[in-house]
Chain A
Amino acid sequence: MPDDNTSDQTPPRTRATVTPLRPRPLSSMRVSGSDAPEKREVSVGFIPLTDCASVAVAVAMGFDRKHGLILRPRREASWAAVRDKLASGAIDAAHSLYGLIYGVQLGICGPRHDMAILMTLNQNGQAITFAGHLRDVGVTDATTLSQYMDSRRDELVFAHTFPTGTHAMWLYYWLAAHGIHPLRDVQTITVPPPQMVTQMRHAAIDGYSVGEPWNAQAVYERVGFTVATSQQVWPDHPEKVLATTHEFVRQYPNTARALVMTLLEASRYIDDPAHHETVARIVSARAYVNVDLALVAARLRGDYEDGRGRCWRDPHALRFHAGGSVNYPYLSDGMWFMSQHRRWGLLQQDPDYFAVARHVNQIGLYAEAAGAVGVPVPPAPLRSSTLIDGRVWDGSNPAEYARSFAIQAAPAPAHGKNVLS
Chain B
Amino acid sequence: MSSTPLKRSIDQTVTEPIRPLRLVLVDDYPERAEVLERALTASGHQIIARFGSGADLRSEVMRIAPDVIIIDVDSADRDILEGMHAINREHPRPVVMFTRDGDPALIRTAVRAGVSAYVVGGLDPERVLPVMNVAIAHFEQFQALQRELEEARTALAERKLIDRAKGILMKQRHMDEEAAYSAMRKMAMDRNLKLVELARSLIAAADLLA
Contacts and interface: CB of A to CB of B under 8 A. Distances in A.
A331 to B, nearest CB: 26
A296 interface: no
A79 B90 contact: no
A190 B131 CA distance: 27
Contact of A190 (B56, B74, B80, B97): B80
Contact of B87 (A85, A160, A345): A345
Interface in B82-101: 82-87, 89-90, 92, 94, 97, 99-101
A111 B111 contact: no
Given A110-B97, A189-B58, A420-B87, A89 B108 contact: yes
A151 interface: no
Interface stretch (A58-66, A191-199, A285-293, A355-363): A191-199
A408 to B, nearest CB: 12
B133 interface: no
A78 B118 CA distance: 15
Given A80-B116, A409-B87, A420-B92, A109 B82 contact: yes
A187 interface: yes
Nearest to A108: B86
Contacts of B84: 190
Interface of A is mostly: loop
Contacts of B75: 77-78
A78 B79 contact: yes
- Which one of B75, B81, B82 has the highest number of Cβ atoms from chain A below 10 Å of its Cβ? B82
B107 interface: yes
B90 A90 contact: no
Contacts of A88: 104, 107-108, 111-112
Contacts of A189: 58, 80, 83
A162 interface: yes
B79 A162 contact: yes
A399 interface: no
B42 to A, nearest CB: 28
B115 to A, nearest CB: 11
A264 B206 CA distance: 40
Interface string A173-204: 00000000001100111111011000000001
5 nearest CB pairs, A to B? A190-B83, A163-B86, A80-B78, A77-B76, A88-B108
Interface of B: 56, 58, 73-87, 89-90, 92, 94, 97, 99-102, 104, 107-108, 111-112, 116
27 contacts: A77-B74, A77-B78, A78-B74, A78-B77, A79-B82, A80-B79, A80-B116, A81-B74, A81-B78, A84-B73, A85-B73, A88-B107, A88-B111, A89-B108, A110-B99, A111-B97, A111-B101, A111-B104, A111-B107, A162-B82, A163-B86, A190-B79, A190-B82, A194-B76, A204-B56, A420-B89, A421-B92
